[in-house]
């Protein structure tokens, strides 16, 4: 079996795990729910300070414009926090992209705000795994990597966005721009399983709102003069669920609307999500969706406005991604931590990066679990484990590992 080269062994010795746990605990104590702009600003300022220790320039990028449909059926702007970007050696011919996110799914009003120790190596807390632990891994890995002679021959960008948990809508243009020309990318979502298993192929994700407008009428005097938007929205929801099949998850999630009991409601908004395994499945769904809307408009004599789209394309594992996975898996085995991978129905910024033609492994973060719940946990020794793994992978990529 291949062994670590002396330069690689020396590099791993320079991974400083000492500050990592304290960093995660400090960052977890800041509520960074995607809508908590004040909390995100505080987090971004702390991250800008620590990433400034690396060579290059740190900037806070303004979020792109995003609109959503309100419960009243109006398209309204949505505010997001700034996204942190570190650019190192931008003139280098071979460059990489590392990404993470500072936001969590826990709003400022959520009762899950504190940390507790489940045992001597397992920390429970908001965002400790997803993914403030992953940010600490990025920082430690790059700090060690920069001590190697190989680092000077390559460049990289780091992006820590503020809206990943709601689909990266305001950071999608930034991700696409940063992905251009990159040889490979690493994203620091937590491992797919607590044992370190990676996520391989991923489904895509699309979110839509269907605004249904009917005609109001008195429910007692002239109900048949009305056109019930709520009933039409229900018909759309049932029609959407009928499109659910293997390889395409369709989830009608919410209907906003309705009126007083004696009024035929003239407005409803149906919100739904799809998870296509392949691009072809998404394309066929759009054809079926348009046919469903046309049928409901005719049968219920309502109008339907469609808002949304595919925000995360499906992420297959192509030939170059297979090679990158091979490098990561081989490096992990050299460190005494053999890992495998599984397909995932979850989505992340790795979907966006892969759609730009860049090979990506997107579960380079910590081992942990129960993310998006009050039971979220971090397996603390994995901070050092994953930092060493990333440092070794970066070194191999910098010294010419083929992709």
pLDDT, average across residues 171-178: 98
Question: Tell me: the pLDDT tens digits for 52-63?
Answer: 999 999 999 999
**Proportion of the chain in helix, strand, coil states, percent, rounded to 5:** 35, 25, 35
pLDDT digits (tens, 9 = 90+) for 88-134: 999 999 999 999 999 999 999 999 999 999 999 999 999 999 999 99
Please state, for a pLDDT cut of 70, what percent of the chain lies above it. 100
pLDDT score of 1 more than 50: no
Interatomic CA distance for residues 123 and 125, integer angstroms: 6
Q: Is the pLDDT of residue 403 over 90?
A: no
Q: Are 196 and 367 in contact, with CB atoms under 8 Å apart?
A: yes
pLDDT of the residue at 2: 72
Residue 170 has pLDDT above 50, yes or no: yes
Q: b or e along 169-189 (b: 16 or more beta carbons within 10 Å of the residue's beta carbon)?
A: bbbbebbeebbeebbbbbbbb
* Domains of the chain by start residue, with CATH: 6-203+315-398 (3.40.630.10), 210-312 (3.30.70.360)
* 401 has a pLDDT exceeding 80: no
Residue 351 has pLDDT above 50, yes or no: yes
Distance in angstroms (rounded) separating the CA atoms of residues 14 and 206: 42
What pTM was estimated for this model as a whole? 0.96
Structure token pair of residue 272: 């739904």
Mean pLDDT of 268-295: 97
The pLDDT tens digits of the residues spanning 22-51 come to 999 999 999 999 999 999 999 999 999 999
For residues 144 and 148, give the distance between their C-alpha atoms in angstroms, rounded to a whole number. Answer: 7
pLDDT tens string 61-99: 999 999 999 999 999 999 999 999 999 999 999 999 999
């Amino acid at each position: 079996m291949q062994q670590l080269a002396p330069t690689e062994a020396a590099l791993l010795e320079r991974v400083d795990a000492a500050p990592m746990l304290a960093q995660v605990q400090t960052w977890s104590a800041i509520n960074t729910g995607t809508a908590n702009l004040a909390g995100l600003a505080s987090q971004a300022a702390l991250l800008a300070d620590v990433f400034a220790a690396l060579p290059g320039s740190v900037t806070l990028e303004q979020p792109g414009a995003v609109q959503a449909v309100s419960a009243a059926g109006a398209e309204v702007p949505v505010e997001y926090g700034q996204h942190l970007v570190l650019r190192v050696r931008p003139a280098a011919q071979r460059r990489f992209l590392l990404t993470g996110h500072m936001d969590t799914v826990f709003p400022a009003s959520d009762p899950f705000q504190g940390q507790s120790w489940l045992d001597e190596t397992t920390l429970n807390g908001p965002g400790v795994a997803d993914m403030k632990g992953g940010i600490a891994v990025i920082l430690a890995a790059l700090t060690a990597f920069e001590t190697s002679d190989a680092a000077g021959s390559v460049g990289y960008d780091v992006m820590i966005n503020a809206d990943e948990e709601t689909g990266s809508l305001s950071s999608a243009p930034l991700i696409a721009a940063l992905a251009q020309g990159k040889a490979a990318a690493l994203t620091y979502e937590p491992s797919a399983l607590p044992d370190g298993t990676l996520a391989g192929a991923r489904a895509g994700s699309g979110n839509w709102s269907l605004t249904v407008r009917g005609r109001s009428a008195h429910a007692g005097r002239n109900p048949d003069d009305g056109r019930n938007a709520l009933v039409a929205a229900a018909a759309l929801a049932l029609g959407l669920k009928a499109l659910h099949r293997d390889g395409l998850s369709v989830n009608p999630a919410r209907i906003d609307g309705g009126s007083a009991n004696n009024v035929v409601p003239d407005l409803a908004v149906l919100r739904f999500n799809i998870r296509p395994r392949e691009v072809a499945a998404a394309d066929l769904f759009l054809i079926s969706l348009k046919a469903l809307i046309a049928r409901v408009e005719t049968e219920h004599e309502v109008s339907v406005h469609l808002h949304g789209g595919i925000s995360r394309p499906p992420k297959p594992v192509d030939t170059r991604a297979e090679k990158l996975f091979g490098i990561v898996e081989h490096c992990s085995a050299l460190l005494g931590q053999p890992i495998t991978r599984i397909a995932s129905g979850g989505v992340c910024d790795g979907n966006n990066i892969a759609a730009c033609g860049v090979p990506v492994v997107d579960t380079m973060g910590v081992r942990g679990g129960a993310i998006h719940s009050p039971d979220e946990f971090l397996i603390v020794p994995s901070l050092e484990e994953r930092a060493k793994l990333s440092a070794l992978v970066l070194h191999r990529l910098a010294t010419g590992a083929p992709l």
